[in-house]
Structure 1
């Protein structure tokens, strides 16, 4: 059996001592190490396996030019691209089983760029001075483990030795051990969920799993939607049951759980089946009440928990969101069906609850009716989204789509790296 290998990405001109310590810890566990130097300005403290000049060249520039320009941001971009290319090549060559990064904001940006390019499931561990803050830009929609370094990564001491050795051993543990579980090959359906669409998703998921499908449920908090569509593009997912398209409300109105302007694109680009509903489009998400922008004073709010405040969408917003969703789906190259629950789009958009507003919902429904191409199946049901009848109807439609798609390999997204 071939020895496992961990790639360490770091700046050997400023963090060489710490990286060499991590290297020794890993090699002491019987695992090989490949060091990628991303330092730009100084001399490496020991010889790497991939030099900074090679990283810069892989990123499209000469190291000498980066040094002469003295533009740190531009240099970080180049080294991030280069480290990504190097990591992907090592992975393709079968000599990268996991990645460990050490550094401040600069190398955190570089190393996590490479990590985000690697498939889900490849161990990725980043020790960073910025890991206790907003890490979304570094993690994105990938399975990156972030560890706060507590102190700066500057020299070895009783604290840094413990932090770095813990990180090194954790990475070794992920790389060197195989979990004892079996994965049965089944067609996979990705499903989007929010707390306020949970009953619908639970019913649909149970039906699909009972009928021989693997399901992966994604929390529609922005990164969840991006993660799902990323896995669609990787070929991991064969069909999407998009119950909860709420991320478009945040994207359009300005909430905190937006998934970006490409949300809803991936299934259509790849050509896999896409069953879509309007779950939780009655709400825009913000943090605690004191974090809500003043421009929204006077709107209808719902206190979800101490960290999340929900704001009811307006008829105008819903009409605009409905048009966006319809136009997105019109571009799909694969089969699409749209389901509208006429009695409410979330648990709090039913009679007696805070966001119950049939006229506002109707603005959403009418926009979808008006702008959706006639060759896309539109199903309207006189239930709310969490009604068992509605959930089963969507699940059965996804099942029909998936059966047709998986019986035709050319219609699926391709092979999975996961």
Structure 2
């Protein structure tokens, strides 16, 4: 008995790139997979392959009738509703086990629609998009998911020896991804998410070691903006049982215009997922910029304290006013949570650079941060302090102990 074929969802604007998708369709079939097709174009599809999910169905799933989208003639609006519809349908197909991978291709518009759909799919699900934009700033397209953007090199317009080569290799890539599923260990441990930064690495490494010895697996996210967003999504999707938020530094970048902001929803994930959340104001003493010439002029004029972390990264010490604001934000985030939440303060520095005789050492300003949290947090949320630097073993041990207490509740 032959094994059941894996099914790849081929999504695209079949109206404008029907011939190109015809070639991709044939390349997928040539590799022995089944292909399901979804049309996200607004007009009549081209090509000679069967369309399984029509543009009418996609539009309706996105909240509009296709005839109304056509009548308005607004390209941006059309992309919005087709993106939403494609995302909803793709996720439904994945949850039902109907598809095992997804592939698409396009220029700016096609990539946008495909990426929106792919961002709705879980980590580990094979996602490949051939794109004219794959070599630029891809953050908006990849988001926090493992989307493989395959550079088209030439424009996706016509079939030639170069475009054939790229499409064929991309088809091979997604088919290779679905060929064998990852080996699932029967001994996988419960997962705890932890946020880390260069300035909090010793603390996180120690916490991870202790938790691993206690029978947990730790998944560590680098608090670089995209890392914080990825951790929030990872948590909301139900991938872990608790969050040890050692490094909340992205909020400093959010309020000061730094380059590593994770946005205004940072710290929301654990509450949405109803998991225990220990919040540490780790590395809130710093804002991240690129080289010194990228630092906003207002900070240079104000003669703020700067430190060159490496040739490409300039750190700015947060001041008293900023720490008061940060404390209020962290407290409000904790207040909104429906999960067990608590704070833990390191009284002898909130980063490596905030330690004794270090460039950012300013415990008076740290105290303003701590007091702002205490002032604004609602009654019943535990707050504890440790007479140690964030990166001392004593603090790491206390952090694990406090998290486990929350988990036991």
Per the normalisation by structure 2, the TM-score is 0.95
Equivalent residue number for residue 335 of structure 1:
340
Equivalent residue number for residue 307 of structure 1:
312
Q: 1:318 aligns with which of 299, 316, 323?
A: 323
Say if 1:208 and 1:399, in contact at 8 Å, map to a contact too: no
Unaligned runs of 5+ in 1: 406-418
Equivalent residue number for residue 219 of structure 1:
222
CA distance in structure 1 between the partners assigned to 2:186 and 2:376 by the alignment: 42
Equivalent residue number for residue 350 of structure 1:
355
| Residue deviations 1:284-341 (CA, integer Å, cap 9, x gap) | 1122222222222122222223332211111100111011101211222221221111
Cα deviation for residue 181 of structure 1 reads: 5.3
Say if 2:284 and 2:318, in contact at 8 Å, map to a contact too: yes
Q: 1:27 aligns with which of 29, 46, 66?
A: 29
Say if 2:19 and 2:46, in contact at 8 Å, map to a contact too: no
Q: Indicate the SS of the match to 1:236.
A: coil
Q: 1:121 aligns with which of 124, 141, 144?
A: 124
Say if 2:21 and 2:47, in contact at 8 Å, map to a contact too: no
CA distance in structure 2 between the partners assigned to 1:269 and 1:30 by the alignment: 41
Cα deviation for residue 117 of structure 1 reads: 0.8
Q: 1:397 aligns with which of 373, 394, 402?
A: 402
Q: 2:368 aligns with which of 363, 371, 387?
A: 363
Q: 1:379 aligns with which of 380, 384, 395?
A: 384
Unaligned runs of 5+ in 2: none
Question: Are residue 287 (structure 1) and residue 290 (structure 2) matched?
Answer: yes
Larger deviation: 259-268 or 210-219? 259-268
| Residue deviations 1:85-129 (CA, integer Å, cap 9, x gap) | 221222133211111110011011111111111111111111111
| Residue deviations 1:196-252 (CA, integer Å, cap 9, x gap) | 100000000010011100111111112222222222222111111000001111111
Equivalent residue number for residue 246 of structure 1:
249
Larger deviation: 372-381 or 335-344? 372-381
CA distance in structure 1 between the partners assigned to 2:186 and 2:365 by the alignment: 44
Equivalent residue number for residue 82 of structure 1:
85
Say if 1:124 and 1:145, in contact at 8 Å, map to a contact too: yes
CA distance in structure 1 between the partners assigned to 2:252 and 2:308 by the alignment: 17
Equivalent residue number for residue 17 of structure 1:
19
Say if 2:18 and 2:45, in contact at 8 Å, map to a contact too: no
Deviation above 6 Å: which 4+ runs of structure 1?
none
Cα deviation for residue 183 of structure 1 reads: 5.1
CA distance in structure 2 between the partners assigned to 1:184 and 1:303 by the alignment: 43
Distance 1:216 1:311, change over 3 A: same
CA distance in structure 2 between the partners assigned to 1:183 and 1:122 by the alignment: 20
Q: Indicate the SS of the match to 1:232.
A: helix
Say if 2:115 and 2:141, in contact at 8 Å, map to a contact too: yes
| Residue deviations 1:118-151 (CA, integer Å, cap 9, x gap) | 1111111111111222211111111111122111
* Alignment of structure 1 residues 93-104 onto 2, 5 Å: 93-104=96-107
* Alignment of structure 1 residues 133-172 onto 2, 5 Å: 133-172=136-175
- Number of aligned residue pairs: give it: 404
Q: Indicate the SS of the match to 1:169.
A: helix
Q: Indicate the SS of the match to 1:278.
A: strand
Q: Indicate the SS of the match to 1:277.
A: strand
Say if 2:39 and 2:45, in contact at 8 Å, map to a contact too: no
Q: Indicate the SS of the match to 1:151.
A: coil
Larger deviation: 35-44 or 162-171? 35-44
Say if 2:58 and 2:85, in contact at 8 Å, map to a contact too: yes
CA distance in structure 1 between the partners assigned to 2:187 and 2:243 by the alignment: 19
Say if 1:123 and 1:175, in contact at 8 Å, map to a contact too: yes
Equivalent residue number for residue 262 of structure 2:
259
